Structure 1
Amino acid sequence: MKNPLKEIDYIKFSQLITHLNSNIQAFSACDANGNVFWLNVQSYKESINEVTGELHKNIKRNLDNSDQIYFRSSVNSESLYHIVLFDLADRPCGGLSIIVKSDSNKNKKNKTDEESLELIASLVSKERALLSELSSMAYELEERYEELNLVYDTDDQSSGLVNGPEVLQNLVQNCTDYLDVAMAVLIMPREDLTIFHHNTKYTIHYVHSMLLQVKNNLFPWLEENGKSLVMNDLSDALRDSLIPDVPYKIACSPILITNEEVSGMLVTLNPNYARDFSNSDRNLLETMARKAAKVTMANYDSLTGLLKRNGFEYLLESALNTAQSEGKTFCILHIDIDGVKVVNDTADTKAGDQLIVDVGKQIREKIRDTDSVARLTGDKYGVLLDSCSLEMGCSIADNIRLAIQEMGFSWDDQSYETSACIGVAEMNADCESIQSIFAAAELAVNVAKEQGRNLVQVYQSGDTQLQRRKGEVHWVRRLQKALVENGLELFCQLIQPIDNSSNTLHFEILLRMKNEDGSIVPPIKFLPAAERFRLMPNVDAWVIENSFKLLMEASTQSNVFDYIWTINLSGQSMNEPNIVDLITSLSDKYQVSPEIICFEVTETVAVNNLQDAKHLMGILRDQGFRFALDDFGSGLSSFAYLKNLPVDYLKIDGSFIKGIVDDPFTHEIVRAINQVSQVRGLETIAEFVENEDIIRCIKDIGINYAQGYGVGKPIPLSEQLNSLQLEKLRFVS
């Protein structure tokens, strides 16, 4: 900031003091060092400078008061009076001098001369204080303006295809530029990220060794204490214990992914001669750390620290543009761990999670710094190999496969074999889209899984086995067209109460595709391709919206809201970050009460995403929606998972129901499932109920509902809604 003493208009004070005292020959102002910076009569400058310079060198902080006047007489019948000005902290900030014609007693002070100078000094001090306050306010407003620029110019975009590292790099650079610091650093240990930006007007030595000490010593302190820290004093005891070899002023803030979990830190550094960090800097750094946390959560997997699929797709898009414009070649790896479900079933999901983390570390260690790895979903990873031929890509893939095979895995004294299948595909200028090249790598890994385990499979356009897989692409294109052109139709199937505990009818809403001739395509034809090519979120969104729309339209003429309507929800949709918002917004839009909607999730999907499934179910059930667990009994440890999932209904796997009449062992399994369900307060639904014998058998066991061709075949939903307007359905007695 400017010196407010030098901003004062001294002409008016010069005119005033000479008007008050006609003996005053000259009037001057000097700074804290005694250097005269304003004088109304320049011929006196040298003599005044000599006196004030010497005087200010000898000023002590223990002066009695700020109006003490210094007097010097001279042989030229003139005397000099000087008064020292003090700031609000009682520090000398300058002074005022007058040259006065001496009277007959020239060696003594004149009271009139003193009073004149004291009056002017008082007025100057008040104006200086006012200007200082205005200058401080202007500086603070300028700081706030820069802070707002920093906050609003820093992107924390978290939707669409986003390059997470690039967004974080911009955030770090903005911190450096807007805060005008020597360097800003973002460190995320789990994500293996260290991003820094250096201000070129400062010289920074030994950057990498200094960053290593910050990461190894300062981060653990932030992790333990969970609060920001400012250290301006290089002799501070805390900084000596943490970072003794980092000779910089430091302000740092933890990056909190949750309210308690510290996943990284944002650090700014200034040399000793630069300005101190203020509380304002601390607050701003905390704001930027929250932005960094938002970017991290949107782009990095919380379990492994690897990129999420959306960030990986951004990199693929960028690589494809480079391949097409510059002729570079890349390789895509699709990695699928073998046996994670076995670990989950025989140990627990924490063991499976740890295996996924360990494999991610192995992949990181075997790729180059220019390559990228992402966790796509569950136990699957994607790798982008930069500037890589197909031959080199196969070599890197095999090194990864071998590393996973040799790493081994133990949990609770139990050892497990580890392996993975890897699909390899080349990306070059001839590739049409990232979807096609990624599908090629995915097709390759699926073929490897079918052939066994611990294999690397390369995608070759002439491979007959892979060509068979390409048939799925046909269905994907048909499905994409059907979603846009109303080529899908909703069916439903009755779920009939068979005991006295409930008299509410349920209907499961099903999806079919329409051929051009009006014939119906069963879901087994197109849904596997939709799952493989990650179209299920689009499919589920279409089913949910059109189901709600039809129910709302039918509610004006029938009592459709008296029944329970079941809608299938895929594992891919459950992993979508906006799935809750989608469901609740559509429920509000079509005025469909949550209490009549039951979402059906397969046991396999729920178990593979146990924590996410539990969280999602909990949120939607709090709003009134219901959940059914489908295909129960198909897993190795179904009962173990049951206690952790907040569901309302249990649908017993149809493979048990079909054999319940003739197979006593199967009969007892179903009885056991039903008994456990009753203890948990769940209602049970038997699937694949094909005849009266099965109905009698499951009714004797005590199962609550029946579904299958023996109860009712699937019919178009619109037809079922029309029939509800005409008659009440009979219960099976």
Structure 2
Amino acid sequence: SRSHSGLAQLVGQSGRYLGIAYSVLLLPGKRIRISATHSSWKQVNRKSLDVYLIDVLFPKLAAEREPVVFEVPPSGTGDSPADQGYQVMLCPLHDAAGNVEGAVAQLGNVNGKPFTAENIRFMSHVGRKVEYLITQSFDSMTGLMNRSGFEAQIHESMSLLESAADVHQMIYFDLDNLQLVNDTFGQTAGDEVIKRFGQLLEEQLPRNGIATRLTGDDFAILLTHSGDDEAMALATALRGNGEKLRYLKGDRSLQVTVSVGIAPFTASIAEESEVLKAARIACDSAKDHGRDRIEVYDQQNLSIIRRFDDMNLVTDIQKSLDADGFELHAQPIVSLSRKRTAPRFEILLRMRDTGGNHVSTSAFFSAAERYQLMPQIDRWVVSTTLSCLQPYVQYLADSGAVFSINLSGQSLGDDAIRRFIEDEIDASGIPPASLCFEVTESAAVANRQKAQSFIDTLRERGCRFSLDDFVAGLSSFAYLKNLRVD
């Protein structure tokens, strides 16, 4: 596959350089086997050679750091080149902890000459290159393939779909409550749970499966040429390992469960990213419906359709953030009183689609909230608003004009966002009294203590706060006296 093309090139070129009959890279734990065979060894039983290398010679490498040469005596059982006796040079490959996890083996010099010290030095260099390439394709914490290597495997698997009836399966896993483990017991505890689940994937992975840790607490398995029943059975078995994911410390424990999404795909799929997207949407749907369950991607399911639309919007939102593709509109706030008041405006965020049309604000806000993009959007709005107002600092001071900026519930109470706002105000020189931050009642009440600390700190700087969606949550009167807003 593309993810192993560099390894295959190294194995083949090193064998040709040394004039070797048979070269093979074996990493049993990672299910990697790459070989290059000279014409005189084409009929050799490669499976039996692999067994001999792994079972007989690999154990002798445990304490070795450099390539080792072994003499293999004639077998006396056949007349193939491999039965006549030959030399094997094994170059050990080490994992991050320094343990031998595999080797590059060079078997049978074509010209019959023994391996030289120069050959050994050459293979030592090749071994280091191989170890480097492996680290680029595999996750250091779990030993599973990383995202880039996995996406290459998906691409490769698509070429194996020979007919419309041929099906692969993508299974997406998300560990529930892992953040709670991190918050309660620390990051090391969360890492231990991640390692445990990675080990469970390895232990239960079928021969037609490839496993990956995509990011954080997200994992996936690609099953090639697999039916719905096989995918469901594997997903059920892995979801049922909840007890093995329980984290215990003293008399305290936290249960980590697994939400799973399954997406079958055929040759009609456009590209590999769509496969992972569909499986993730199904997994997110499982989380929405209570967690610790399995959902199968179904294009007729309205919840699935909404999530697919959200994920497409997330891509557009990220592009808008990266390329300043949002628009800010200043809507006048007009008093119904005849009394003359200072100018007031509310800053409204707008986004356009690829056709230049405005996207429904509620639609892209829903997607941004679901995928935790609101803090990034809030930062963009604050920074861009202050940048636009900066040339008019004197006017703001003289007129008393006030601009209202909406803050999301995901930002309210976030100390990093608060410090960002303070830094932006200081850098712009804009009078803090010219800024009024609008927060929804439900967001303020959801985490009242943090919200009040956030509000108090910025009010002390001179900023104002207003409560939006008043009484929408039916709790405003009970909490209003404790929320110091303007």
What TM-score do you get using the length of structure 2 for normalisation? 0.64
Q: Distance in 1 between matches of 2:155 and 2:186?
A: 37
Structure 2 equivalent of residue 180 of structure 1: 19
Structure 2 equivalent of residue 93 of structure 1: none
| CA deviation profile, 1:702-729 (whole Å, cap 9, x unmatched) | xxx676647xxxxxxxxxxxxxxxxxxx
Relative to structure 1, the CA distance from residue 287 to residue 481 in structure 2 (aligned partners, 3 Å threshold; closer, same or farther) is same
Q: Distance in 1 between matches of 2:228 and 2:29?
A: 30
Relative to structure 1, the CA distance from residue 474 to residue 167 in structure 2 (aligned partners, 3 Å threshold; closer, same or farther) is closer
The structure number with the bigger radius of gyration is 1
1:323 is paired with a residue of what secondary structure? coil
Q: 1:424 aligns with which of 262, 275, 298?
A: 262
Structure 2 equivalent of residue 442 of structure 1: 280
Q: 1:405 aligns with which of 226, 242, 253?
A: 242
Please tell me the residue identity of whatever aligns with 2:8.
Q
Q: 2:59 aligns with which of 198, 216, 220?
A: 216
| 1:340 partnered with 2:178 | yes
Q: Distance in 1 between matches of 2:40 and 2:296?
A: 51
Q: Distance in 1 between matches of 2:230 and 2:173?
A: 16
Q: Distance in 1 between matches of 2:418 and 2:7?
A: 43
Aligned pair count reads 391
| CA deviation profile, 1:671-724 (whole Å, cap 9, x unmatched) | xxxxxxxxxxxxxxx64x3xxxx369x74xxxxx676647xxxxxxxxxxxxxx
| CA deviation profile, 1:279-310 (whole Å, cap 9, x unmatched) | 32233223322322332222111111111112
Q: 2:10 aligns with which of 171, 174, 181?
A: 171
| CA deviation profile, 1:340-387 (whole Å, cap 9, x unmatched) | 223223323222212212212222232321221111111111111111
Q: Distance in 2 between matches of 1:629 and 1:214?
A: 55
Structure 2 equivalent of residue 457 of structure 1: 295
Please tell me the residue identity of whatever aligns with 1:629.
A
Q: Distance in 1 between matches of 2:280 and 2:211?
A: 15
Structure 1 equivalent of residue 115 of structure 2: 277
Report how far residue 424 of structure 1 moved. Answer: 0.8
Kindly indicate whether the alpha-carbon contact (under 8 Å) linking 1:251 and 1:282 is maintained by their aligned counterparts in 2: no
Q: Distance in 1 between matches of 2:138 and 2:329?
A: 39
| CA deviation profile, 1:168-201 (whole Å, cap 9, x unmatched) | 2343233323322244343446635454445453
Relative to structure 1, the CA distance from residue 706 to residue 295 in structure 2 (aligned partners, 3 Å threshold; closer, same or farther) is farther
Structure 1 equivalent of residue 368 of structure 2: 527
Report how far residue 476 of structure 1 moved. Answer: 4.3
Structure 2 equivalent of residue 629 of structure 1: 416
Report how far residue 442 of structure 1 moved. Answer: 1.2
Report how far residue 249 of structure 1 moved. Answer: 4.0
Q: How does 1:135-146 map to 2 (within 5 A)?
A: none
Aligned-residue Cα RMSD (Å) equals: 5.0
Q: Distance in 2 between matches of 1:471 and 1:229?
A: 54
Structure 2 equivalent of residue 495 of structure 1: none
Q: Distance in 2 between matches of 1:287 and 1:399?
A: 43
Q: Distance in 2 between matches of 1:602 and 1:367?
A: 43
Q: Distance in 1 between matches of 2:315 and 2:443?
A: 36
Report how far residue 207 of structure 1 moved. Answer: 3.3
Report how far residue 268 of structure 1 moved. Answer: 3.0
| CA deviation profile, 1:556-603 (whole Å, cap 9, x unmatched) | 9x9xxxxxxxxxxxxxxxxxxxxxxxxxxxxxxxxxxxxxxxxxx999
1:431 is paired with a residue of what secondary structure? coil
Please tell me the residue identity of whatever aligns with 2:53.
M
Structure 1 equivalent of residue 104 of structure 2: 267
What TM-score do you get using the length of structure 1 for normalisation? 0.44
Q: Distance in 1 between matches of 2:365 and 2:139?
A: 32
Relative to structure 1, the CA distance from residue 458 to residue 232 in structure 2 (aligned partners, 3 Å threshold; closer, same or farther) is closer
Relative to structure 1, the CA distance from residue 440 to residue 184 in structure 2 (aligned partners, 3 Å threshold; closer, same or farther) is same
1:355 is paired with a residue of what secondary structure? helix
Relative to structure 1, the CA distance from residue 361 to residue 314 in structure 2 (aligned partners, 3 Å threshold; closer, same or farther) is same
Q: Distance in 1 between matches of 2:390 and 2:18?
A: 60
Relative to structure 1, the CA distance from residue 264 to residue 182 in structure 2 (aligned partners, 3 Å threshold; closer, same or farther) is farther
Q: Distance in 2 between matches of 1:384 and 1:376?
A: 12
List gaps (5 residues or longer) in structure 2.
Answer: 74-84, 331-347, 394-410, 420-438, 467-486
RCO higher in 1 or 2 (8 Å CA, sep ≥ 6)? 2
| CA deviation profile, 1:425-465 (whole Å, cap 9, x unmatched) | 11023333333332221121111112223211111222232
Kindly indicate whether the alpha-carbon contact (under 8 Å) linking 1:188 and 1:265 is maintained by their aligned counterparts in 2: yes
Report how far residue 423 of structure 1 moved. Answer: 0.5
1:447 is paired with a residue of what secondary structure? helix
Q: Distance in 1 between matches of 2:368 and 2:417?
A: 17
Q: How does 1:582-661 map to 2 (within 5 A)?
A: 629-630=416-417
